[in-house]
């Protein structure tokens, strides 16, 4: 507010000073012009009288007769009162004076100021006291051919007032200027507000914040308001672009891919965190910067592509791209390079280790499935061919081969069911419905399923599961977990072993289970891989026991589907222990 008043006051003072100066000049000029006009009017009137007197003298041949007294009769006829008419010859001798009866005795007037002026110009005027009468006169002298004729009026208050400019006129002019000054004040005030608003706006530009002010409704105010509107729109657009830029950078940094943008001169413009990380993982060097990427041997293919693409890129809208895979230390990466039509380019590094390993696993799994299917199919085929080629086979042998063929088809069915279950867990996890599952009952049912096998191997099951151990899960999958763990122990732990099942811990979300046996155990080197599909400690282990090689893989995937965890370890006293968690039913 102080800034606004200061500028307005300075502007008002400047314009007021200029206005006052101009007003004084104009008033002075008008006053002088008015005064000159009145003097000119008086002079014209006196000159007319002088000309009348001169014409009278010439008409009556007074210079020849010397009868200058006749002029008295003319003076009486003149409409002007109190005029003093004097006739002076060229030598200064007074020939006639209407106000002095004894004019012949008057002194020589050649030295009178008005006579001197009239001799050198058209006429001469002066205000002075008469040396003859002692009165103040306004004199006007005019030189004619044979004499000077001087006309004078008594310089009294009336004449003095007549010669002065009329004050009323000056007052009117002054009032006009005061009104004009008031208008100037209003205009200056509004102009000052507009200019101050523009100044405040200019000072606020560095803050990059929206500016708000009310401009006056004049031309400058309209211009200022329009500029302010454009600025705020540009600032809003800039802020929106800045926000979008930050979102883009945040998005690029949140991507799992490493991405970097480069200029036409191969100078780095932007790179995200993953780009630097993947470069380090690929090369093993910690001191590399994203700008060093084109000097790395692993990216020689990218460098060669860029050299070719940048030298041949001419068509508008033409975009060049290359893509290839590299690997290092068991990690797989996909490298993409895209050259845009403005000759800038981007390099994208994607970690495809999981995808690539899944592909390898699927290849291995396909190979394993084919291998696992081949054995029972070949066995069934062999048994059937034997029966077909020996129709005279005795009844006992015939039944033996039929029984073996049925066993292999059962094994084939189990294998197909396990593969189907694994695929369903991995690809259609949402299709499994959850419910309240009592673990004590599940363990009891599973133990009963293996009762004959357990008894035949002189094994024992110790289950320490309370009735309140209730989980939220899919019942069939939970049965598969305990079924496969039980089958694994029964088949491989050895005779006379004890199987122990218990809850060793719990919290608000999970129950923590231990499933162990004190059998022959699993060698340490095999423990990390026991959950892999078709993995066998020895090549014939599963086949001899009738297993599919997928049991522990099903266990792990079923527990992971329930958001639990599972691990395996060798017990200090011998045997194997599986530790896993399952979600509680709240």
- CA–CA separation, 557 and 536 (whole Å): 18
CB 305 within 8 A of CB 319: no
Q: What is the pLDDT of residue 209?
A: 67
Half-sphere exposure for 418 (CA within 13 Å, toward CB): 25
Residues 510-538: b if buried by 16+ CB within 10 A, e if exposed: bbbbebbbbbebbeeeeeeebbbbbbeee
Chain segment 260-318, per-residue pLDDT in tens? 889 888 888 888 888 888 888 887 777 777 778 878 888 888 888 888 888 887 666 56
- CA–CA separation, 23 and 1 (whole Å): 31
Q: Percent of the chain scored above 90 by pLDDT?
A: 18
- CA–CA separation, 415 and 549 (whole Å): 8
Chain segment 346-402, per-residue pLDDT in tens? 999 888 888 877 777 666 666 666 655 666 677 777 778 777 787 878 888 888 878
Kindly tell me the sign of the dihedral angle through the C-alpha atoms of 272, 277, 278, 283: positive
Q: What is the pLDDT of residue 541?
A: 47
CB 488 within 8 A of CB 578: no
Tokens coding 233: 């729109």
Checking phi first, is residue 334 left (phi over 0); if not, alpha (psi -120 to 50) or beta? beta
Phi first, then psi, for residue 262 (nearest 5°) are -130, 150
Phi first, then psi, for residue 207 (nearest 5°) are -80, -20
Chain segment 226-274, per-residue pLDDT in tens? 777 777 788 788 888 888 877 877 777 777 788 888 988 888 888 888 8
User: Which carries the bigger pLDDT value, residue 446 or residue 196?
Assistant: 446
Chain segment 493-529, per-residue pLDDT in tens? 889 999 999 999 999 999 999 999 999 888 888 888 8
- CA–CA separation, 545 and 248 (whole Å): 58
State the alpha helices, DSSP H only, in 164-257: 167-203, 219-254
Q: Could you give all domains of the chain from N- to C-terminal order, each with its CATH number?
A: 2-163 (3.30.450.20), 168-242 (no CATH), 255-351 (3.30.450.20), 356-420 (1.10.287.130), 432-583 (3.30.565.10)
CB 379 within 8 A of CB 405: yes
- Which residues contact residue 159 at a Cβ distance below 8 angstroms, ignoring those fewer than 6 apart? 42, 138, 153
For residues 461-474, give the mean pLDDT.
Answer: 91
Checking phi first, is residue 337 left (phi over 0); if not, alpha (psi -120 to 50) or beta? beta
CB 99 within 8 A of CB 133: yes
Tokens coding 304: 């060669």
CB 192 within 8 A of CB 7: yes
Residues across the chain: 586
Neighbour tally for 384: CB within 10 Å: 13
User: Which carries the bigger pLDDT value, residue 136 or residue 202?
Assistant: 136
């Amino acid at each position: 507010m102080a800034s606004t008043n200061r500028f307005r006051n300075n502007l008002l003072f400047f314009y007021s000073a200029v206005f006052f100066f101009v007003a004084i000049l104009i008033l002075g000029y008008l006053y002088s012009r008015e005064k000159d006009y009145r003097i000119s009017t008086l002079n014209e009137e006196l000159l007319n009288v002088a000309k009348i007197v001169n014409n009278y003298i010439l008409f009556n041949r007074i210079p020849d007769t010397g009868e200058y007294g006749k002029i008295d009769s003319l003076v009486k006829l003149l409409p002007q009162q109190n005029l003093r008419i004097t006739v002076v010859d060229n030598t200064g001798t007074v020939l006639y004076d209407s106000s002095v009866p004894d004019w012949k005795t008057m002194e020589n007037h050649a030295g009178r100021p008005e006579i001197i002026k009239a001799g050198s110009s058209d006429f001469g005027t002066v205000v002075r006291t008469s040396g003859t009468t002692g009165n103040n006169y306004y004199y006007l002298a005019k030189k004619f051919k044979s004499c000077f004729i001087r006309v004078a009026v008594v310089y009294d208050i009336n004449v003095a007032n007549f010669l002065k400019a009329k004050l009323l006129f000056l007052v009117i002019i002054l009032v006009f200027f005061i009104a004009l000054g008031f208008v100037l004040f209003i205009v200056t005030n509004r102009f000052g507000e507009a200019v101050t608003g523009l100044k405040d706006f200019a000072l606020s530009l560095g803050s990059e914040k929206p500016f708000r002010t009310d401009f006056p409704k004049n031309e400058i105010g309209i211009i200022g308001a329009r500029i302010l509107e454009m600025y705020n729109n540009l600032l809003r657009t800039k802020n929106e672009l800045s926000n979008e830029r930050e979102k883009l950078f945040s998005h690029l940094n949140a991507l799992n891919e490493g991405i970097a943008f480069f200029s036409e001169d191969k100078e780095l413009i932007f790179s995200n965190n993953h780009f630097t990380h993947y470069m380090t993982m690929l090369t093993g060097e910690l001191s590399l910067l994203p700008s060093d990427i084109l000097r790395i041997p692993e990216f020689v293919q990218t460098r060669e592509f860029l050299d070719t693409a940048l030298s041949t890129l001419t068509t508008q809208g033409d975009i060049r791209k290359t893509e290839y895979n590299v690997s290092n230390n068991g990690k797989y990466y996909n490298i993409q390079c895209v050259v845009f039509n403005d000759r800038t380019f981007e390099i994208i590094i994607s970690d495809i280790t999981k995808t690539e390993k899944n592909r390898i696993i699927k290849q291995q799994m396909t190979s394993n499935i084919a291998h696992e299917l081949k054995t029972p199919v070949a066995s069934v085929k062999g048994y059937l061919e034997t029966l077909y080629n020996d129709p005279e086979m005795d009844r006992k042998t015939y039944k033996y081969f039929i029984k073996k063929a049925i066993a292999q088809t059962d094994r084939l069915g189990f294998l197909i069911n396990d593969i189907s279950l694994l695929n369903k867990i991995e690809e259609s996890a949402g299709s499994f419905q959850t419910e309240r599952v009592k673990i004590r009952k599940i363990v009891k049912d599973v133990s009963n399923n293996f009762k004959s096998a357990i008894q035949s191997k002189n094994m024992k099951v110790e289950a320490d599961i309370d009735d309140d151990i209730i989980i939220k899960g899919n019942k069939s999958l939970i049965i598969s977990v305990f079924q496969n763990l039980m089958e694994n122990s029964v088949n491989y732990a050895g005779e006379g072993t004890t199987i122990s099942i218990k809850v060793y811990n719990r919290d608000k979300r999970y129950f923590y289970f231990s499933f162990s046996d004190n059998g022959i155990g699993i060698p340490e080197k095999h423990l990390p891989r026991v959950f892999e599909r078709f993995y066998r400690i020895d090549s014939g282990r599963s086949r001899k026991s009738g297993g599919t090689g997928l049991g522990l893989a099903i266990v792990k995937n079923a527990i992971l589907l329930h958001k639990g965890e599972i691990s395996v370890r060798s017990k200090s006293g011998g045997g194997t222990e599986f530790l896993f968690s399952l979600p509680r039913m709240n």
